[in-house]
A and B are shown apart, each in its own frame.
Chain A
Amino acid sequence: MDNSRYLRNNLIDWFSQETIHNKHYAIIGCGAVGNEVIKNLVLLGVGKLDIFDFDKIEIHNLTKSIFFRESDIGKYKADVLASRAIEVDPNVQIFPFIGDFYDKMTLDMLKDYDAVISCVDNFESRIRINQICALYSKDLINTGIDSRFVIVDIYPFSTNENIACYECNLPASVYHQISKRYSCGWLKNISSKEKIVPTTPLTASLAGALASSYVLRIDDLNLQSSRRTFIDSMTGSTSNIDLQKRNDCKICSIRSKNKIFVKAPSTIGYNIFRLSRAVRKNISFKSSEPILTEIHCLDCDTNGKNPKIVFKKARDYDSSISTCPDCGGHKVKISIKDSFSLGELVTKFYGYNIPCKYIMCELSNELVIIEMEENNERNT
């Protein structure tokens, strides 16, 4: 590596080029703020970046994203960003992942990161990012902007057990907004229109700068609580707020338990059967996200005995499945669950893949979190 490009950085008293070169961060979301964060970290000479985005570049992205050009329209954001970032500094190892981070980021990958930076545009993704970072005690920086204001949250999960997570301070109205976008369980409501939040390159730039600064200095800040910086980009007024932990937060209640992390094939087969014999009781599993288990048209199946087993992520479906594809009728019963008994898994879904990131169960006062490995799918 040619170190001459970093010589001036070494004059900065709070800065260690070697430390930064050894860092490995995950950046989720390659939009306006993601562009800014990646720009900053690459210019500073960070070692490795994994960047996640499922989306392609559209013309309106060009007013806020420094790395995108008109000739990039239609290409994947993560691919373009990675290739442009390497042009800025070929010493940086940058790996683009096309798709939903929740599917692409394995827990082994998460373990390897020094921190995760959330640059997404919706509450559902933020909730999932918070969930995995809190469970795996991985430091999280969360960003959010509109056309005037900026927030950058720091959740130092790696060094603090008893701190607020992102969900601790989410108002009920957020969950209400999410539920309006889903017609039944986690099926997307096809009639629901997404709200467009106007943003500017100014707020994106502020968020990107602060998020980059915090992620590099998270250890030095020695925070005893999670913290939010709230900036008014028009007046420059800034408040630094300690985020209060909520006593009834579900994520924090899981966090406080003794946890055991294991991996298992996702196919429900002999392994689960053996587990059911070994524990000798019908323990229950909670899945990391809701699963569409069955679709049942009561017009086609008048006996009501032959529901079609689906066993796939509910988020991959929308409310159109409430119309029967065979008869066109609307008497379709849909079953969506995130909690399963061991017996139910063995008897009803034997041979199917568990279609989620992990399942968890309580065994002898310990929380066992089982990451699902890829496997042959019966439920395709």
Chain B
Amino acid sequence: MNVILRTADQLRKAELTIEPEYTSSDVIEQAIANWALPTDTDYTLVNITKQTTIAPNAALSTSRIEDGDILEIQPVLVAGYDGTNKG
């Protein structure tokens, strides 16, 4: 199926064909590699069209994705304190 994949800042965007057996982790991994996204950040895949998250390890075929949907790679934000992430 064909979807539009973009980053949360919308600076990177691509139309791509995804295999149904792919998981969101596969899509994120390829986006990190192809778009040189920061590797020290964690990401989730969100279906902007359907307004839902896509489970990290579920096959995309089970995630109600349809042709033309916009998928967005969003960072999982960890700070909130003062940014030092002291643990």
Residues on A lying within 8 angstroms of B by beta carbon are: 29, 31-34, 55, 58, 60-61, 64-65, 118-124, 126, 143-146, 148-151, 164, 168-174, 177, 181, 188, 194-199, 204, 207, 228, 230, 232, 234-235, 237, 239-244, 246
Contacts and interface: CB of A to CB of B under 8 A. Distances in A.
B2 interface: no
Interface in B56-87: 56-58, 72, 74-87
Given A195-B40, A241-B52, A246-B55, A230 B82 contact: no
Contacts of B24: 171
B51 A242 contact: yes
Contact of B80 (A61, A119, A173, A239): A119
A122 B86 contact: yes
Given A122-B85, A239-B46, A169 B53 contact: yes
Given A31-B82, A194-B85, A232 B76 contact: no
Interface residues of B, number: 35
Contacts of B51: 239-242
Nearest to A151: B77
Contact of B48 (A145, A170, A239): A239
A9 B86 CA distance: 38
A148 B83 CA distance: 12
6 contacts: A121-B81, A121-B86, A146-B75, A146-B83, A237-B10, A239-B46
A255 B80 CA distance: 27
A244 B87 contact: no
Contacts of A32: 80-83
Interface string B1-40: 0000000111000000000000011001000000000001
A140 to B, nearest CB: 14
Contacts, number: 143
Given A55-B86, A122-B87, A172-B25, A197 B56 contact: no
Contacts of A197: 77-79, 83-85
B53 A196 contact: no
A146 B77 contact: yes
Contact of A241 (B25, B53, B56, B58): B53
Contacts of B76: 144, 170-171, 174
Nearest to A204: B80
Contacts of B40: 195
Contacts of A123: 78
A244 B8 contact: no
Contacts of B87: 122, 124, 181, 188, 194
A124 B85 CA distance: 11
Interface centre among A64, A65, A121, A145, by most chain B C-beta atoms within 10 angstroms, is A121
Given A149-B75, A171-B42, A33 B56 contact: no
B6 to A, nearest CB: 11
B84 A194 contact: yes
A120 B83 CA distance: 10
Contacts of B83: 32, 64, 121, 146, 196-199
Contacts of B46: 230, 239, 241
B25 A150 contact: no
Contacts of B57: 172
B86 A143 contact: no
A361 B49 CA distance: 42
Contacts of B8: 149, 230, 232
B84 to A, nearest CB: 6
B41 to A, nearest CB: 8
B85 A195 contact: yes
A32 B77 CA distance: 14
A118 B25 CA distance: 26
